[in-house]
């Protein structure tokens, strides 16, 4: 594998975690309402709106986790606590934690 193959794979993993993985979560854990759950999980991507308060808005050399306020460790602790609630709050918590995991692996797990 040369560098561009790895870069493609990284992009693939990123979009897979954002768009495809939530389908599995919805189907496995919320089969009866999977479409609604999938939409809620997708909607948690709005958490990236906190990037608008940063300058520059996007910097490939900056990890989101621990930088933007909705990506801070305090925020992540709140998302974790949301898992202890029922219904939509838990689903949103799952989506937000998955988002943090996606951002985390995107920045820390690739040697590009
Ligand atoms: Zn993010």
**What ranges in the chain are assigned the alpha helix state H?**
3-15, 21-29, 34-43, 73-82, 88-108
Ligand 1 centroid to Cα of residue 88, in Å, is: 20
What percent of the chain shows pLDDT beyond 90?
Answer: 79
Tens-place pLDDT, residues 69-89: 999 999 999 999 999 999 999
* pLDDT beyond 70 at 1: no
Residue count (the chain): 112
* 38: nearest Cα among 23, 19, 20: 23
Ligand 1 centroid to Cα of residue 36, in Å, is: 22
d(CA 3, CA 72): 31
pLDDT band per the 50, 70, 90 thresholds, residue 60: confident
């Amino acid at each position: 594998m040369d560098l561009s193959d790895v870069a493609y794979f990284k992009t693939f993993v990123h979009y897979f975690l954002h768009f495809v993985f939530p389908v599995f979560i919805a189907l496995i854990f919320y089969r009866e309402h999977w479409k609604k759950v999938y939409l809620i999980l997708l909607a948690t991507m709005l958490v990236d709106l906190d990037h608008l308060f940063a300058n520059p808005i996007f910097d490939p050399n900056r990890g989101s986790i621990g930088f933007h306020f909705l990506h801070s460790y305090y925020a992540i602790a709140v998302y974790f606590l949301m898992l202890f609630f029922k219904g939509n709050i838990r689903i949103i918590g799952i989506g937000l934690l998955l988002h943090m995991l996606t951002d985390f692996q995107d920045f820390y797990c690739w040697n590009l």
